[in-house]
Chains A and B, each alone.
Chain A
Amino acid sequence: MAVATDEGTIGGGGNGFFDFLGGLADYASQPGVLLPGILGGLLTGGAYEDLSDIGRQAILGTTVDGVRIPGAMELAETQLEQTQFRPFTVTTATGAGFGTRVDPVTGEVKTTMGLSPEEQAMQRQLLEGASGFFTGATTDPSVREQELYEQIRATTSPQERRERLGLEERLAAQGRLGVRTAQFGGTPEQLAMEQAQQTAMAQARLGAAQQARQEQLQQSQLGQQFLGMGYVPQQQLLAATQPSQQLAALQQQAQLEGAGLFGEAAMSGLEARLIAEQARANLMGQIGTGLLSGAFTPTQTSPVESAIGDFIRGIGG
């Protein structure tokens, strides 16, 4: 029995290997062995080569009856091309536009949106308004409070002035203009009027403060509203692109499915061929293997087998 040794030899002692080969040659040179062996070897080798070709064709494709059958690579490229994103554009009724494109360099999908001039003007106005409102909302309320207070005072001051003049006239008529008291400062009437006016002023101040803060809140709310409204054209544009996007998605889906079907179909044909070729190769391989095994197997040969052997040997001739 041949075993692998450290010396890299195969055999069993003496000139073992060459002895073996001599023996093998002797054996093989026997007519009942040589022909089937050669034939089996050829068939097996052919089957082997066919399998190799099948794999290659599976990758690179082949031509059958003049029809080009794409291989996996070609099919992949074809499907890649088939499933490539297809840019589309959307134009709304108000003139806004939405577009997509693929960067030829980077392959990135890029979108562009554009509003109509009217929408842009509206958006600008709204955003500027929002900015103004937010500016107002973030302004120190005391400034506005002072403005409001002065406005309130402007409305009440004339009446107060009239009342003060009236009191002054009454006091003058009563000879009391010059009254100064530790208790009231001036006269009790002057104190009462001063208290009333100071109360009114305090209320005006309080009202102005409340109004200023309310306005500040309103500014903030208006700013938010304007800001939101400022993006409405854009939102509407985006909303308008939704059906298109769905269509595009459907198209993409169909595209993908078509590419899939194409691939599957192409691959199914290729697979069928590959299977057929594989089966053929297997068959040839089995035949070759049978011949070889028959050649090298000292067994009773049936008439059939002999006939076949003869045939093969005849072929091998």
Chain B
Amino acid sequence: MAQELRSINLVAPAFKGINTEDSPLAQDPSFAEIADNAVIDKRGRIAARKGYDLLTNETITVSDTTGFTVNETIVGSRSSASATVKAVTNGTQISIETSRAGIFSAGETITGGTSETTAAFTSVAPTGFALGSSAIRAIKEFRDNAGNSKIFSVGNNKIISGTTTLVDETPGSYTITADNWKMVDFNDSIYFFQRTYEPLVYSNTSGAVEKMSAVNGASLVADIPKANEVIAAYGRLWCADLLGDKSTVYWSDLLIGQNWTGGTSGSIDISKVWPDGYDEIVSLAAHNGLLIIFGQHSIVVYQGAEAPATMSLSDTVAGVGCVDRDTVQQTGTDVVFLSHTGLRSFGRTIQEKSMPISTLSRTITKDIIGLIQGETEFFRSIYSPEENFYLLTFVGQETTFCFDIRGTLEDGSFRVTRWPGSVFTAYERLTDGTLYAGTQYGIAEYKTYSDNGTRYRFKYFSPSLTFGDASRLKILKKIKPTLVGANSATVFMKFAYDFGTSYRTTEFTVGNQNPAFYNVNEFGENSNPLSEFTGGELTNQRSLNAVGSGTTVVVGLEADINGFALSLQEINLLALIGKMV
């Protein structure tokens, strides 16, 4: 007698994100073993993240006396969509990505594509590109009191402005050899701070980035703290982490960010306040009238920071500190930061006094600790209420963790997914909610579903599934994924038995499913009849055959995302339960 197929329905698989901490066998199927380039979408499903659209154009001066020829190889790749040939002279070799065939001419705009089989060219020198071969290290939107906006970024040892065209705004006679700037927008000016460097200031009044000491009303250069950390809060600039002075917080005069010696400016040395004797200030944050001072392994909180001369110690936390200045993000109701044991929220840390349970990244603790310890460059983070995530990027390891901040799991941790191969080197959320990301190629916007025209791979792998009985053999018969979106995408369904890493793969392509909206005819404008239109989301269900058997099953799904969203609604597995092994 044929045995009945048992159905195991993975509804909204991985909507709890990655879990690499618990045993795969004991895991809730709602977790994922792998969730790469994924987010938790608005319906709580695992879905492909958005891509980035490079805003920066690369303007290149091409030096060539003979002109480009067909199949001429331009070595290297800039992912900018276009380049403008402005001049033709002898020069060094450069690479641009273009599908252009033929001979370039001076002044010609090269419209790029994704093809890398382009013309070879041996005498090109890039000039006029402020970023050079470096990456954007920080981005900041400056909005003046009139609401005007200007984007500043740093990289290639320069202060840069603009998005489509990067303009070097570095003051004359000001030498920069590092890009670890932090920028804050404060009272109609934007301030640039980096350890050992005299802070820089830009305002629309001056119209240029200038040294702080050159600003009217500024303190003397020697009196201006050359700090690595700065925040704007409670009507002042607050800074800390100076060379040789790791325990003093300085605050500027009220509303005068360049005055550090007069008015109500001041400082506080907390070297006698650290709860465990010694620490070094890493970061500052302001929240709910509090000044939060993050050390490397402790936190000191002052209340009444609106009047810093009388602010007093409110709380201290020992054993929990902040890894890096750029991991601290305010979420409106709390402050999220990266500690040495994972992501934490300030509110809960204070409430629970650094108990391990308070970590927000409990499902990937070991992973994140390994990345922290292995990071050789720097950290970047961003909180986007529009996208409902907190991104944490380990730039040197090209890994980004995406924490969904809409809710927490039973253990209080955020749902997390991973973005491997991340090229993001900086983030900035604009006032209108737009998310900018810095890359090696300039400034990009987090949107669409391709990385500047390049596809990227979405991956989901379930934990090892036992179908409720780890002792019995499972024989997969059918795999029925339900996908939302994924227009024209090629999807690879994978499965493996018994913790194996050799996956069996079955592939299918989602058809072209351009949605037909009201009054936009599926078959063309003004066709007759105007009868067919669809909803906003297209759903695709497939039934794939599976083979093999094992006591545990891992199911995965991979898809190249190239212009369309993809959400994994559910995966229905049909299996025979075999003998006990």
Contact = CB atoms under 8 A, between A and B. Distances in A.
Interface of A: 172-184, 187-188
A96 B129 CA distance: 120
B313 A176 contact: yes
Contact of A181 (B302, B309, B312, B313): B309
A182 B310 contact: no
Interface residues of B, number: 25
B304 to A, nearest CB: 10
Contact of A175 (B308, B309, B312): B312
Chain A contact residues: helix, strand, loop or mixed: loop
Given A178-B248, A181-B264, A188 B309 contact: yes
A174 to B, nearest CB: 4
A39 to B, nearest CB: 145
B272 A181 contact: no
A134 B492 CA distance: 115
A180 B267 contact: yes
Contact of B253 (A175, A177, A182, A184): A182
Contact of B264 (A175, A176, A177, A183): A183
B7 interface: no
B271 A174 contact: no
B511 interface: no
B309 A187 contact: yes
Contacts of A173: 313
Given A179-B309, A180-B267, A187-B309, 19 more contacts: A173-B313, A174-B313, A175-B300, A176-B268, A176-B311, A177-B272, A178-B247, A178-B271, A179-B266, A179-B267, A179-B268, A181-B264, A181-B266, A181-B309, A182-B253, A182-B263, A182-B264, A183-B309, A188-B309
B276 interface: no
17 contacts: A172-B272, A175-B270, A175-B273, A175-B312, A178-B247, A178-B267, A178-B268, A178-B269, A179-B266, A179-B309, A180-B266, A180-B268, A181-B308, A181-B309, A182-B264, A182-B265, A183-B309
Contacts of A182: 253, 261-266
Contacts of A175: 268, 270, 273, 300, 302, 312-313, 316
A183 B265 CA distance: 7
Nearest to B259: A182
Contacts of A174: 312-313
Interface string B289-319: 0000000000010100000111111001000
Nearest to B274: A175
Interface of B: 247-248, 253, 261-273, 300, 302, 308-313, 316
A175 B303 CA distance: 11
A173 B262 CA distance: 27
Contacts of A180: 266-269
Contacts of B262: 182
Contacts, number: 60
9 nearest CB pairs, A to B: A178-B269, A175-B313, A181-B266, A174-B312, A175-B273, A182-B265, A179-B268, A181-B309, A178-B268
A177 B247 CA distance: 13
Contacts of B272: 172, 177-178
A181 to B, nearest CB: 3
A174 B300 CA distance: 11
A190 to B, nearest CB: 10
A184 B273 CA distance: 21
A246 B311 CA distance: 93
A179 B264 CA distance: 12
Contacts of A187: 309-310
A290 B330 CA distance: 168
B313 A183 contact: no
A183 B266 contact: yes
B193 to A, nearest CB: 20
A182 B267 CA distance: 9
A21 B461 CA distance: 204
Nearest to B312: A174
Contacts of B310: 187-188
Nearest to A175: B313
A167 to B, nearest CB: 13
A311 B273 CA distance: 161
Nearest to A189: B310
A176 B302 CA distance: 9
A266 B440 CA distance: 155
B302 A184 contact: no
Nearest to B264: A183
Contacts of B268: 175-176, 178-180
A181 B270 contact: no
Contact of A183 (B247, B263, B271): B263
A165 to B, nearest CB: 15
B267 to A, nearest CB: 5
Contacts of A179: 266-269, 308-309
Nearest to A177: B272
A183 B273 CA distance: 23
A105 to B, nearest CB: 94
A282 B300 CA distance: 147
Nearest to A178: B269
A210 B271 CA distance: 46
Contacts of B312: 174-176
Contacts of B267: 178-181
A302 to B, nearest CB: 151
A180 B300 CA distance: 18
Contacts of A172: 272
B242 to A, nearest CB: 14
A209 B307 CA distance: 41
Contacts of A181: 264-267, 308-309
A172 B313 CA distance: 9
A20 B311 CA distance: 156
Nearest to B271: A178
A176 B266 CA distance: 12
B411 to A, nearest CB: 33
A184 B268 CA distance: 13
Nearest to A187: B309
Contacts of A177: 269, 272-273
Contacts of B313: 173-176
A269 to B, nearest CB: 120
Contacts of B273: 175, 177-178
A289 B261 CA distance: 139
A184 B312 CA distance: 16
B268 to A, nearest CB: 5
Nearest to B310: A188
A187 B302 CA distance: 15
A310 to B, nearest CB: 154
A178 B311 CA distance: 12
Contact of A178 (B253, B265, B270): B270
Contacts of B269: 177-180
A102 B272 CA distance: 95
A176 B309 CA distance: 9
Point out which of A172, A173, A174, A176 has the most chain B C-beta atoms below 10 A from its C-beta: A176
A54 to B, nearest CB: 124
A175 B273 CA distance: 6
Point out which of B253, B272, B309 has the most chain A C-beta atoms below 10 A from its C-beta: B309
